């Protein structure tokens, strides 16, 4: 039995990580879900997603040995999902991947049946969240916002709007997750 690959994407600041954490805490214990850990060229920091942290040469070696089922670059970092992280699909499990909008076309080529969940928010909320993080200058934030809203979301994607309370967005996310 083949499982289901669930590809969660959305602009930085839309709240993907927060909603993924909410979902993890609200799924029934018996849910057959595997949370795919990404390999990222970024050190693990407190409060950060659990990922395999590697330097750029190690990431390149992993690419050279075809260790990744999915791999992309975004925001100056390299991201990959190793084949072993998707192995639970073969056992009929659902696998959640925190993906990239820019890589969606390639992901669909490799996994045409994947479920797409697009987390989004209003321009005003996205701007406020990105500015509050203080990681980028206002001009860079505006460039991110422009890219976020220029992205053409596929018709088959399930939209989750994260403008209100975490509980409201979480319930939407859970429904999207459970939707066939």
Q: Where are the domains of the chain?
A: 4-178
Check if the beta carbon of residue 56 is closer than 8 Å to that of residue 43. Answer: no
CB-based contacts of 150, cutoff 8 Å, min separation 6? none
DSSP designation for 136: S
DSSP designation for 87: G
pLDDT of amino acid 47: 57
The radius of gyration of the chain from alpha carbons, rounded to an integer in Å, stands at: 16
Q: Tens digits of per-residue pLDDT, 65-103?
A: 999 999 999 878 899 999 999 999 999 999 999 999 989
Q: How many CB atoms lie within 10 A of CB 4?
A: 18
Least confident of 19-23, 57-61, 124-128, 130-134: 130-134
Check if the beta carbon of residue 95 is closer than 8 Å to that of residue 36. Answer: yes
Q: Tens digits of per-residue pLDDT, 132-168?
A: 988 889 999 999 899 889 999 999 999 999 999 999 9
pLDDT of amino acid 2: 85
Q: Tens digits of per-residue pLDDT, 13-55?
A: 899 989 999 999 998 877 789 999 999 887 766 556 677 888 9
Q: Which sign, positive or negative, has the C-alpha torsion 143, 145, 150, 151?
A: positive
What is the CATH architecture assignment of 4-178?
A: 3-Layer(aba) Sandwich (3.40)
Residue 1 has pLDDT above 70, yes or no: no
pLDDT of amino acid 60: 94
Q: For the chain, how far is it from start to end, CA to CA, in angstroms?
A: 16
pTM: 0.89
């Amino acid at each position: 039995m083949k499982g289901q690959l669930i590809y969660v994407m959305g602009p930085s600041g839309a709240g993907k990580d927060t909603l993924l954490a909410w979902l993890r805490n609200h799924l029934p214990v018996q849910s057959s879900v595997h949370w795919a850990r990404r390999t990222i060229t970024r050190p693990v920091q407190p409060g950060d997603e659990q990922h395999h942290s590697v330097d750029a040469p190690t990431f390149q070696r992993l690419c050279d040995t075809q260790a990744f089922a999915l791999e992309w670059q975004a925001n100056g970092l390299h991201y990959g999902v190793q084949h072993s992280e998707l192995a639970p699909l073969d056992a009929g499990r659902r696998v959640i991947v925190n993906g990239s909008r820019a890589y969606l076309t390639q992901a669909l080529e490799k996994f045409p049946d994947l479920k797409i969940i697009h987390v989004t928010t209003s321009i005003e909320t996205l701007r406020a969240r990105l500015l509050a993080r203080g990681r980028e200058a206002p001009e860079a934030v505006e460039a991110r916002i422009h890219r976020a809203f220029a992205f053409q979301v596929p018709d088959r994607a399930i939209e989750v709007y994260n403008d209100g309370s975490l509980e409201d967005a979480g319930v939407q996310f859970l429904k999207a997750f459970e939707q066939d």
